[in-house]
């Protein structure tokens, strides 16, 4: 290579690495081909899996792991014993696993496993298959695993199984031997205890052979729908193959990290084509429980997707399926399982997981809040929009995120909150997991909206999606995007909010006449977590003046773009170590009607009683 050419290549590489350092973090790649032959009456199937596995890591791998999720559904399993010992077990699990009979168990039996034609040594350790490779997998190389297995589908206990509470015959999620993810943090061979999921990005090509009476729904796109008229009949007539005892349904899902499917003989299938070409599939048993919601859902979800595409990022796939199945709402790539009686709020929540989980594929065991919490935040925004437009029922709310703040404060005051940084299976109670993942994750975005200002925050959420879709973002990746978009340092916010349960409490300490023209205000920090403040000063003539007090450790201040109508002033930094902060208002003491910390009520302040001084709105002024 010539020197000049070398320099050019070197410079190009250097520029590429510098510009896109983090989002280009390596990730493994899978390409699954599976042939599944169902014996529906016995709830069993034979499986052949050919898995091309590409090691993009800089490491040589001498072993790999697979999830064998069905093995959780046997008495004495980790899932069973954990549920029996929790103070607040999930009502769907409780002691149900301990009471399963052998023909209701779930299991996978691995008959053979080869890598590039050579037999692997392996050991089944309940829900994890530990595999010793005949030869290590070199960095940047691809190997092919061939697995032959038999499985028994469990009686439906949690998420997957046969005979769901709604009577759906097969809810098939976490249903095949799935290779564990290996990333910059190493292997993630977590046993299946309760939650939740993390998978390798790649392509799925799945043939499911099953009795012809069944209608199937799945992640991905049916390849041979033409044979059975499946796919584009808006009337939703029941479709099934005409001839033969069994039919093979051929599905493909590309650039996803999991594949799920459902089957029932009594499904109604409604197809809804959106203007942008995306096709919705709704599969459900049409009855009193489902009829009203599922009939209205296609048009409502169409409007919801319009809003989400604009505000949280463009949905990139060609199909999305709403499948009645499982035991509630549970998300999978390109599809969701829903209980028959699900309300429209659940349809919205679960489909938003197509963004926060399906496309932003964070490790849900470690960052459940980036999946559930962000979904909850977006659900509140979408629902509020749909209410404003009269597309769904209910009254729109000026502060759609306030309930989440108040719930978290109550839970914290009860002494039950645990930090977001705990692995999803290791919280002391199910309630602490739920509040952390669903509520505190939601509140985390609400607080960032407050710190950054809504217009800046909204744009940053789009940048987050566009930078990290089809990847595995973690907490740092997310915060880095927020920092770049706001121009603020936010590491302190992440440290307090993710790793601790410390609380925020600010108060107005004193308001005094400074001289004939000015007023002196002293604020105090009572809680341990520092935050920037917006202080609204309302004058007796009704005019408002908003003062923003940044924290010194933010190295900047929020742009005042969200306070368009009112006068806005950025005050000097509040140094986080200092318990009090004083400033002088350029207003006569007698002209001030009210001073309030965070009039927007977004700040997660655990005691709002000390946030205001003077008359509350509606209170009559005294004569002076």
Q: Which stretch binds Zn ion (CB under 5 A): 34-42, 372-380, 566-574, 605-613?
A: 372-380
Structure tokens at 563: 């306070």
How remote is the C-alpha of 46 from its chain's centroid? 33
Q: Is 86 exposed, middle or buried (0-12, 13-18, 19+ CB in 10 A)?
A: middle
DSSP result, 488-505: ---HHHHHHHHH----B-
Question: Closer to Zn ion at the Cβ: 282 or 356?
Answer: 356
Closest approach of Zn ion to the CB of residue 158, in Å: 14
Structure tokens at 276: 């942008």
Q: Please state, as a whole number, how many other Cβ atoms lie within 10 Å of the Cβ of residue 228.
A: 16
Question: Closer to Zn ion at the Cβ: 68 or 354?
Answer: 354
Q: Which stretch binds Zn ion (CB under 5 A): 37-45, 273-281, 369-377, 602-610?
A: 369-377
Question: Closer to Zn ion at the Cβ: 80 or 372?
Answer: 372
Q: Which one of 372, 417, 485, 605 is in contact with Zn ion (CB under 5 A)? A: 372
Question: Closer to Zn ion at the Cβ: 205 or 372?
Answer: 372
Please list every residue from 42 through 71 that binds Zn ion, using CB under 5 A: none
Rounded to whole angstroms, the Cα distance separating 266 from 450 reads: 49
Question: Closer to Zn ion at the Cβ: 197 or 497?
Answer: 197
Closest approach of Zn ion to the CB of residue 349, in Å: 6
Helix (H) or strand (E) run with residue 201 in it: none
Closest approach of Zn ion to the CB of residue 152, in Å: 28
Question: Closer to Zn ion at the Cβ: 264 or 372?
Answer: 372
Q: Is 104 exposed, middle or buried (0-12, 13-18, 19+ CB in 10 A)?
A: buried
Closest approach of Zn ion to the CB of residue 414, in Å: 24
Closest approach of Zn ion to the CB of residue 442, in Å: 11
DSSP result, 274-299: -TTS-EEEEEE--STTTHHHHHHHHH
User: Strand 121-125 and strand 567-570: pairing?
Assistant: unpaired
Q: Which stretch binds Zn ion (CB under 5 A): 71-79, 280-288, 366-374, 614-622?
A: 366-374
Rounded to whole angstroms, the Cα distance separating 479 from 483 reads: 6
Q: Which stretch binds Zn ion (CB under 5 A): 148-156, 367-375, 384-392, 494-502?
A: 367-375
Which position's Cβ is nearest Zn ion?
A: 372
Q: How many CA atoms lie within 13 A of 125 on its CB side?
A: 11
- For the chain, give the number of residues: 624
Closest approach of Zn ion to the CB of residue 375, in Å: 5
Nearest to 82 by CA among 198, 195, 162, 197: 195
Question: Closer to Zn ion at the Cβ: 373 or 550?
Answer: 373
Nearest to 154 by CA among 171, 178, 177: 171
**Nearest 5 degrees, angle CA 254-CA 255-CA 261?**
55
Termini Cα distance of the chain: 87
Q: Which stretch binds Zn ion (CB under 5 A): 103-111, 364-372, 460-468, 471-479?
A: 364-372
Closest approach of Zn ion to the CB of residue 388, in Å: 23
Question: Closer to Zn ion at the Cβ: 131 or 352?
Answer: 352
Q: Which stretch binds Zn ion (CB under 5 A): 371-379, 476-484, 539-547, 603-611?
A: 371-379
Number of residues located near Zn ion, criterion CB under 5 A:
1
Question: Closer to Zn ion at the Cβ: 365 or 503?
Answer: 365
Instruction: For residue 562, state whether it binds Zn ion (rule: CB under 5 A).
Output: no
Closest approach of Zn ion to the CB of residue 64, in Å: 29
Q: Under DSSP, is residue 551 helix (H, G, I), strand (E, B) or coil?
A: strand
484: left (phi over 0), alpha (psi -120 to 50) or beta: alpha
| Binding residues for Zn ion (CB under 5 A) | 372
């Amino acid at each position: 290579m010539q020197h000049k050419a070398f320099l050019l290549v070197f410079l190009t590489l250097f520029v590429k690495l510098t510009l896109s350092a983090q989002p280009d973090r390596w990730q493994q790649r899978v390409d699954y081909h599976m042939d599944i032959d169902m014996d529906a009456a016995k709830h069993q199937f034979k499986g052949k899996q050919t898995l091309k596995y590409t090691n993009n890591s800089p490491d040589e791998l001498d072993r790999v792991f697979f999830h064998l999720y069905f093995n959780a559904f046997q008495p004495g399993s980790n899932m069973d014993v954990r549920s029996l010992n929790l103070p607040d077990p999930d009502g769907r699990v409780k002691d149900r696993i301990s009471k399963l009979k052998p023909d209701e168990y779930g299991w996978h039996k691995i008959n053979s496993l080869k890598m590039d034609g050579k037999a692997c040594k392996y050991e089944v350790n309940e829900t994890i298959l530990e595999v010793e490779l005949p030869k290590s997998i070199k960095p940047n190389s691809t190997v092919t695993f061939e697995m032959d297995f038999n499985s028994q589908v469990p009686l439906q206990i949690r998420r997957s199984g046969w005979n769901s509470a709604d009577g759906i015959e097969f809810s098939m999620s976490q249903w095949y031997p799935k290779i564990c993810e290996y990333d910059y943090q190493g292997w993630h061979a977590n046993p299946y205890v309760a939650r939740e999921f993390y998978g390798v990005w790649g392509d799925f090509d799945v043939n499911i052979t099953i009795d012809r009476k069944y209608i199937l729904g799945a992640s991905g796109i049916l390849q041979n729908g033409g044979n059975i008229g499946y796919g584009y009949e808006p009337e939703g007539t029941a479709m099934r193959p005409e001839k033969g005892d069994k039919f093979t349904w051929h599905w493909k899902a590309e650039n996803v990290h999991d594949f799920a499917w459902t089957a029932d003989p009594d499904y109604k299938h409604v197809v809804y084509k959106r203007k942008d070409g995306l096709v919705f599939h709704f599969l459900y048993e049409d009855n009193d429980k489902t009829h009203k919601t599922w009939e209205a859902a296609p048009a409502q979800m169409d409007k919801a997707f319009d809003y989400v595409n604009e505000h949280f990022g463009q949905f990139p796939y060609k199909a999305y399926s709403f499948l009645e199945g499982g035991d509630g709402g549970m998300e999978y790539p390109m599809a969701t399982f829903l209980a028959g009686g699900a309300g429209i709020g659940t349809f919205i929540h679960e489909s938003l997981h197509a963004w926060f989980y399906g496309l932003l594929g964070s490790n849900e065991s470690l960052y459940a809040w980036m999946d559930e919490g962000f979904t909850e935040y977006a659900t509140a925004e979408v629902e509020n929009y749909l209410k404003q437009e009269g597309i769904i029922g209910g009254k729109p709310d000026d502060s759609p995120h306030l309930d989440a703040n108040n719930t978290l404060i109550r839970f914290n005051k009860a002494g039950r909150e645990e930090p977001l940084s705990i692995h999803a299976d290791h919280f002391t109670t199910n309630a602490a997991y739920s509040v952390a993942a669903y509520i505190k994750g939601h509140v985390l975005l609400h607080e960032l909206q407050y710190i950054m200002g809504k217009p800046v925050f909204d744009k940053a959420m789009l940048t987050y999606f566009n930078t990290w879709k089809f990847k595995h973002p973690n907490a740092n990746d997310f915060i880095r995007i927020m920092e770049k978009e706001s121009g603020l340092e936010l590491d302190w916010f992440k440290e307090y909010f993710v790793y601790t349960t410390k609380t925020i409490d600010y108060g107005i300490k004193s308001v005094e006449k400074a001289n004939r023209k000015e007023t002196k205000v002293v604020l105090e920090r009572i809680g341990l977590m520092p935050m920037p403040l917006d202080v609204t000063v309302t004058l007796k003539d009704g005019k408002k003046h908003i003062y923003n007090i940044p924290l010194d450790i933010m190295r900047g201040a929020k742009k005042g773009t969200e306070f368009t109508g009112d006068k806005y002033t950025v005050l000097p930094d509040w140094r986080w170590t200092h318990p009090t902060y004083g400033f002088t208002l350029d207003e006569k003491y007698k002209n001030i009607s009210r001073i309030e910390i965070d009039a927007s009520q977004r700040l997660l302040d655990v005691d709002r009683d000390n946030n205001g001084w003077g008359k509350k709105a509606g209170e009559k002024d005294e004569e002076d």
